[in-house]
Chains A and B, each alone.
Chain A
Amino acid sequence: MSRSLRILAVMLLLGLAAVRADEPALVVVVNPGSGVASLSREQVADLFLGRARKLPSGLVAIPVEQQIPPEVRIRFYQYLAHLPMSAVRAYWARLYFSGQGQPPRMTQDAQETLGIVMANKGAIGVVEKDKTDPRVKVVLEIRGTEGL
C-alpha cells in the first residue's frame, strides 16, 4: 500500500470515529417512584421486546418509544438486540397479530416521552441524554458509540 493510500485510510478511520463519537448518548428513563435504581441491557430489551411485562419492582411496565428523530429508535434497537428496524417491526408484527402482546406506545418526541414517564409510575422510555429532565430517573445510559 502506498504511503498516500495509508494516510487516506487513517484519515477515513479517524473521520469515522469522530462521527461515532458525535452521536448523542441515549438514556433509558423511568419515573422516580417506580422503585427501580438501574437496569441492564438485557432487562431493557426484555421490556421493549415484549418478553417482560413488569419492572423489577413489580409495577406493570409501560414502555414508550419516540418516533422523532428516527435515529433514536434505530440506535436503541441496534444496541438492545442488534436488529435493524425492519426486523424489529417484523418481530412485533408476529407477536401482535398472534395475540401475544402490543408493541411499546409511540410518542412524537422526547418531550412527550418524558411527560408520559413523569405521569406514570410504570412508564419507561428512551430519550437523547441532552433532552432528559431531572424529574425522571436515568436507569441505563447508551453511550454515543454504542448501538452503531
Chain B
Amino acid sequence: MRVCLFVAAIHLFAVAAPAFAQDQDPAFQLSAFGTLGLAGTDTHKVEFRRDNLQPAGAIDKPLGSVDTRLGVQLSSRLSDDFLATLQVVSKYRFDGTYRPDVMWACVTWSPTQNFSAKFGRLGIEMLPNWDFTNVGYTYPWVRPPVEAFFTITPAHIDGAELNQTLDLGPEASVTFKAFGGTASEKIPGILTPPLDLSGGPTYGFAVKPRWGGFRGRLTYSHFEIPRNFGGPVVATQNYLHAVAAQLHDPRLDAAADALNAKGVTGSTWSLGGSYEEGPLQVQGMVRRGTYSSFIFPDPTAGFFSLAYRFGRFQPFLTWSRIYSPRKAPPDLGLLPTLPGPVPAFMVGQMAQAANNLRADQFTWAGGVRWDFADTACLKFQVDRVHSNQSTGLWKVDDPTWNGKATVMSVTLDFILGGVR
C-alpha cells in the first residue's frame, strides 16, 4: 500500500511539475518543495527518529512520517531592496499530527551589495545548513546525519538576522551573520508533556568564509527554555520538597529545583566546511553543546560526508558520531537512606533523568541520489547504527535492544517553481 502511494506520488509530481514550470512573475512567485519518504529498520525494539521534534519513529515496518514533508512558499520582490518570503511546512510534529507550521514569514532588506537584514519569523543557522534542512532536494542524503543534527534547539525564531559580507578578492569573501529573537515551537517530551520553547530568548552568530568551491562555517547559538516541564516532573518536585521539609534537608529542595526547565540555557558551537567543485562534494562539521542543567546532556557530535556525481547519479558515504558524557544527578541528601519503595523509586527517577537524553552512537551511511528529472530526485540510503546509549535519539520500546540497527530509507525529493 505504502509503495503504491509512493509510485502515485511520483506520477503526481510528473503531472504537477509543468504547471509550476511556467515562467512566473518574479514579483510574486509560488513554489513548493517536498519529500515523500519511507524508512524502516530491522528491529521493533526501538523507534528511529529523524529529530527531537518527532514523538514516534520507524520500526521494522516502513514508515512514511520520518522523512515526509511538504512546504509551500510565496515569494514577492517588493522592490529592488525588499524580498518577502512566506513558507509553510507540513511535517510530522510533536503532537503526532501534520498540522502546517509557518517556518518563514520574513522580509529581507538588502540596501547595499554586501549587507542584508531579515525581519520576522526566520529559520536560523543554529548549525551549518540548519536553515534549509527541510528541503531534501538541496543535499545528497535522505536526511542530514542524525547524530550531528539531532539537537534540543529551536529551528526558527521570531526576530531579526543581519548579514555583512566582506570581499577578500576574486572568489573569496567572508560573511558575518548575527541573529536574535524568541523561539516559537514545541518539542515532545519523553516522559513529560511537550516542552513549549515559545518565547525563549535565542541568539547567535556565524562566520562564513568562502574561497572558490570551499565554504566554511563557524556558528554559535544560545537559547533559554522559558517554561518548566509538566506532568510527572511536577509530582517528583512536589515529593522532593515535601521530604525536604519533613527532614529539614535543603539538598532535596535544591534537587527539586534542579528539575526546573525554566531558565535552563543551552549553547552550541559548531565548525563546519564544505567543498564542492565539479562532481565532487565533501562536507563535515563538529559541534559541542553545553546545557546548564543535569537533565540535558552536553553532546560533542559531528559528521563527514563524501559524494560524487556520475551524470545524474550521486553516490555518497557518510560517517557521523555523537557522544555525551554522563552527568551526575543532584545530591539527594537523606532520601536514599529512607526505607520503602517510594524513596527508592524517586532515586531511580533522578538517575534516569540524568541520562534520558544521553547519546553515544555512530553511524555509517551510504546511498545514492538519482536526479531522474531536473527538479526531482530519488534517494536510497542504508544506515548502519552502532549505539551504546542513545535514548535521546531513539525512542526505546524494549531495553534489551543490543544497540545495533540497520535503517533503510527511500525518498522522492522535489522542488516546484522558483528554481528551474
- Which residues of A does B touch, CB under 8 Å? 40, 42, 45, 51-54, 60, 67, 81-87, 89-90, 92-94, 96-103, 105-108
Give the distance to chain B from A98, nearest Cβ to Cβ, in Å. 5
Is B73 in contact with A101, judged by CB distance below 8 angstroms? no
Q: Find chain A residues with CB under 8 A from B122 CB.
A: 99
Q: Which of B60-68, B80-88, B180-188, B225-233 contacts A (4 or more CB under 8 A)?
A: B80-88
Q: How large is the interface on B (under 10, 10 to 19, 20 to 34, 35 or more residues)?
A: 35 or more
The minimal Cβ–Cβ distance linking A54 to chain B, given in whole angstroms, is 5
Contact indicator A54/B83 (Cβ below 8 Å): no
- Check A102 against B113 for contact (C-beta < 8 Å): no
Interface residues of B in 128-169 (CB under 8 A from A): 129, 131-132, 134-135, 137-139, 165
Most interface-central of A93, A100, A101, A105 (chain B CB within 10 A): A93
> B33 to chain A: which residues have CB within 8 Å?
93, 97
Given known pairs A45-B171, A94-B132, the reply for A102 and B123 (CB within 8 Å) is: no
Chain A residues whose C-beta falls within 8 Å of the C-beta of B29 in the assembled complex: 102
**Any A CB within 8 A of the CB of B276:** yes
Give A42 to B26 CA distance when docked, in angstroms: 25
Check B419–A92 contact: CB distance below 8 A: yes
Whether B106 lies near A99 (C-beta < 8 A) is yes
Inter-chain CA distance A86–B137, complex, in Å, is 10
Bitwise, B66-99 to A at CB < 8 A (1) or not (0) is: 0000010101010010010101000000000000
B420 touching A106, Cβ below 8 Å: yes
Cross-chain contact B139 with A90 (CB below 8 angstroms) = yes
Q: A96-B31, A105-B23, A105-B26 are in contact. List 14 more A-B contacts (CB 8 A).
A: A52-B113, A67-B420, A83-B278, A86-B314, A89-B420, A96-B73, A97-B33, A97-B71, A97-B132, A97-B134, A97-B415, A99-B85, A101-B108, A102-B75
A85 to B309, CA, bound (A): 11
Q: Which residues of A contact B85 (CB under 8 A)?
A: 99
Nearest chain A CB to B163 CB, angstrom units: 9
| A88 nearest in chain B by CB position | B419
Chain B residues with CB under 8 Å of A81's CB are 213
Bound complex: CA A102 to CA B85 (Å) = 11
Tell me which of B113, B139, B371, B415 contacts A54 (CB under 8 A).
Answer: B113
Cβ distance A27 to chain B, nearest Cβ, rounded Å? 21
- Report the minimal beta-carbon distance from A53 to chain B, rounded to whole angstroms: 6
Tell me whether B171 and A99 are in contact (CB under 8 A): no
The 5 A-B pairs at the shortest CB distance, nearest first, are namely: A99-B85, A98-B131, A92-B419, A60-B80, A86-B371
Q: Is B198 at the interface (CB under 8 A from chain A)?
A: no
Q: Does B279 contact A (CB under 8 A)?
A: yes
Interface contact B75-A40, CB-CB below 8 Å: no
Q: Does A99 lie within 8 Å of B118, measured CB to CB?
A: yes
| B173 CB contacts on chain A under 8 angstroms | 51
Whether the pair B312, A99 counts as a contact (CB closer than 8 A) is: no
- For A98, list chain B residues within 8 Å (CB): 104, 123, 131-132
B343-391 interface with A by 8 A CB criterion: 371, 374-375, 377
Closest Cβ neighbor of B32 among chain A residues:
A97
Q: Once the chains bind, are B418 and A102 in contact (CB under 8 Å)? A: yes
Interface residue from A51, A97, A103, A106 paired with B23 (Cβ < 8 Å): A106
- Nearest opposing residue in chain B for A89, CB measure: B419
Residues of B within 8 A of A40 (CB): 170
Contact with A83, one of B118, B139, B276 (Cβ below 8 angstroms):
B276
Distance of A109 Cα from B165 Cα, bound (Å) = 34
From residue A24, how far is it (CB to closest CB) to chain B in Å? Answer: 23
Measured between beta carbons, the chain A residues less than 8 angstroms from B371 are 86
Q: Does B398 contact A (CB under 8 A)?
A: no
* Residues from chain B with Cβ under 8 Å of A107 in the complex: 23
In the complex, A33 Cα to B415 Cα: how many Å? 36
Contacts of A106 in B (CB 8 A): 23, 420
Q: B292 at interface (Cβ–Cβ under 8 A)?
A: no
Given contacts A87-B309, A90-B139, A97-B138, is CB(A102)–CB(B415) below 8 Å?
no
Nearest CB in chain A to that of B118: its residue:
A99
| Cβ contacts under 8 Å, B374 to chain A | 85-86, 89
Measured CA separation A107–B134 after assembly (Å): 29
Say yes or no for B110: interface residue by CB 8 A criterion. yes
How far apart are the CA atoms of A105 and B418 in the complex, in Å? 10
Contacting residues, chain A, for B113 (C-beta < 8 A): 52-54
9 residue pairs A–B, Cβ–Cβ below 8 Å? A45-B171, A82-B213, A86-B377, A96-B31, A97-B71, A97-B138, A99-B106, A99-B122, A106-B23
